[in-house]
Structure 1
Amino acid sequence: MTLMNRRSFKYGIPFLLAIVGGSFGLKEFAQLRYTFSKKSTVKEDIKRSGMEVKDQKESSIEKQYEKLKDMDLDNWEQVRGPRPWEEKASA
């Protein structure tokens, strides 16, 4: 049998080339998506959404612990928020 008539050469090598070549091609197309995408920062997105960000003062873990230490975390009630269709109907 010649090399060209073997099944591994006839079907296996083109299959492996398609898989490896496809991964490199897909990488290039994905890179184009990120290269030409509109870049914005998180702060710009928050400003556009209308939410205001309070100035976050530096807080340490100890300060956060002091706030949580005084709260009663064992007694709480679960409250379900309104669904989008319920919110429109009540408004």
Structure 2
Amino acid sequence: MFSWKTLRRNKTVKYGVPMLLLVIGGSFGLREFTQIRYDAQKIKKRLDPSLEAKVNPEKQAVILEEEYEKLKEIHLDEWKNIRGPRPWEDSREYQEQQRSNLSKTH
């Protein structure tokens, strides 16, 4: 049989086995660490909207009726689309031209 001295000299045992243990053990270790991250994301997503509004007051839920009332107040009939300047056009000159055209129509 092999003696301990022979096994210590063998390059496969000396370098290969620790390398395999490192690779296989590292993959299991990384799986555990990444699983913690995904579990934390799941817990964060599970918050009840009413509880989330209490926890994060700046991220309160938008009520559809309130947004509809805000849109009703805006006069969309008076809105005019003004295109921005092209790369070869002078932006200040073009903006002044658009403003003057806009003020002439109103």
State if a TM-score over 0.5 links the two structures.
Answer: no
Considering only CA atoms, is the larger Rg found in Structure 1 or Structure 2? 2
**More RCO (CA 8 Å, sep 6+):** 2
TM-score, normalising length: structure 1: 0.42
TM-score, normalising length: structure 2: 0.37
Higher helix content, 1 or 2:
2
